[in-house]
Chains A and B, each alone.
Chain A
Amino acid sequence: MTEQERLELFMERIRRGEKIEATDWMPDEYRQLLIKLIHMHAVSEIMGAYPEKEWVPKAPSLRRKLAIMAKVQDEMGHGQLLLRVVEDLAKPLGKNREDLIEDIYHHRVKFHNVFHMEARTWADAGVIGWLVDGAAIINQASLLSTSYGPYARVLKRICAEESFHMQHGENIILALAMGTPEQKRMLQESLDYWWESLLFFFGPPEVTPAAERMLYYRIRTLTNEELRQKFLDKYVPRILSIGLTIPDPQLHYDKELKRWIYTMPDWEKFGEIVKKNNGPKSRERIELRRQAHEGGRWVREAMLTKTAV
């Protein structure tokens, strides 16, 4: 069979809606795109633990303390599941777990813009759960139909857990929204701070060449803009219903165009943050990850030492 024939058969399977498995033949481009996407997803889950980590020790009641610990644990767990998927994909390229983690602090892998931002107050911890995880669910739910089987299966579990996170965040938000004037002010400030990041989260409206290839291989099935519109559909009414103001005077639903019109986030600013890791908290959090990994090397080595047991 020639390379061309193999590729034809592969694309035939994709078009039929079959799932590709880790042990199946796949074109290099497909493998590379998957590694890029899932590695970024895994690392975003892991780096996403840091903004909330800052609020885990400060959760203001026993119930909240237990909930936020479990929530952030889930994020690390998602990172682990996704890394296992990438490990299988990257194995033929000679990369292992150690490399995939080191890539973070060698700036060889990006993570979502929202996790470069500060988590300044307890309300931010709530907004992260409610809207950042809410945005993530929209993105991840759309990936459930991905052509790569192992990713689809892991996403199924992730989506189920993320919907709990969204409820956890919503619960914190509702308590603040119905609380004292101070709590309400804290909440509005938090929304003001996060709004632009949330719009950026889905990426630029134009379909980039890499995104175009992902759509071609059915790794993903919706464009950035379609996902952002879904997010606005779901959350704008909810945000307004609890008495918050969305910090965008342009925001409205255009009935004729059947889409939300919004002020564009500063693509350049957030693009730089993600590409160059120069957001307000990027360096500090990457440093924590480096310390955890490098500082824990002696433990990993010790646990692999053959012993008398």
Chain B
Amino acid sequence: MESAEQAQKNEAYLLALRDLLYQLADDELTLGHRDSEWLGLSPDIEGDVAFSSVAQDEVGHAVFYFELLHELGEKDPDRLAFARDLSERKNAVLLERENGDWAYSIARHFMYDVWDDLRLEALTESSYVPLAKGAIKIRREEYYHLLHMHSYFVRLGQAGKEAKKRLELAVKAIWKDIGGIFGFGVYEQKLVEFNIITKPAEELKQRWVKRMQQAFAEAQLTWPDSWEPVQYDGRRGEHSPELEQLLQTMSEVYRIDPTARW
């Protein structure tokens, strides 16, 4: 599929592609929004500047995915970002959780970034060419986020004492939601069949586990011995009150007059 026009001719293909694009866009927008909440609150001024760059990259990626959706006949990117209901949001619940402390924010970001890297890699040869091209470009930026988050994660763990304790608590909290990042939603089988994404979710999850176990070992953390069932499946539009609050805040000005130019 070279273009939106071609994709639109195949109903089943279009349905699956759109659903995946919403997952990608909502993941990045939600996390970018959360990242931006660290503004002015990071442990040092340098860290503040760095986190803001990450936040801007994430929101920038969301814009890219929303634009692809718009080309496929969906509403304009701002409407998609600001005016969709909670039940239409497809981000993983982990990413909508409040920031918590620095350890939680770093550990969550790192775990998601590793997943995102694997997912992007599986998109670089997507049958939907506009997506494949974007994935290559986005992956180049995400590489730096990974370096940044990995180094924080490992060093916080290795520092021991309070930092390690906080990191352990963060992992525990993240583990309640982590299951929700793996998987591509209701159209998973179709997405792989159509080669929109070139690897099944389960295979990516195994690779994620391998990479993450290595990072846990570096950080001198114990790998959790079991998975937990998730409370909400974000990929199916189930979300926590934390996302509801986030969306209220994000759209506060937009809702004053959604038809106005701001």
Contact = CB atoms under 8 A, between A and B. Distances in A.
Interface stretch (B112-120, B194-202, B203-211, B253-261): B253-261
Contacts of B260: 179-180, 182-183
B262 to A, nearest CB: 4
Given A56-B39, A76-B52, A69 B59 contact: yes
- Interface of chain A, main secondary structure: helix
A62 B66 contact: yes
A65 interface: yes
B16 interface: no
Contacts, number: 144
A60 B156 contact: no
B127 interface: no
A307 B262 CA distance: 49
Contacts of A80: 45-46, 49
A51 to B, nearest CB: 10
Contacts of B102: 296, 299
- Chain B CB within 10 Å, residue with most, of A122, A172, A289: A122
A20 interface: no
Interface in A42-86: 46, 49-50, 53, 55-62, 64-66, 69-70, 72-73, 76-77, 79-80, 83
Interface stretch (B7-15, B75-83, B86-94): B75-83
B255 to A, nearest CB: 9
Given A61-B82, A73-B53, A180-B260, A292 B43 contact: yes
A53 B56 contact: no
A288 interface: yes
Interface residues of A, number: 51
B36 interface: yes
Interface in B37-69: 37, 39-49, 52-53, 55-56, 59-60, 62-63, 66
Given A298-B162, A305-B159, A79 B53 contact: no
Q: Which 6 A-B pairs have the closest CB atoms?
A: A296-B43, A302-B159, A302-B163, A73-B52, A299-B43, A60-B262
11 contacts: A57-B249, A58-B253, A60-B82, A73-B56, A76-B39, A79-B45, A292-B43, A301-B163, A303-B159, A305-B155, A309-B218
Given A61-B254, A301-B159, A309-B218, 6 more contacts: A57-B33, A57-B249, A80-B49, A292-B40, A299-B163, A302-B163
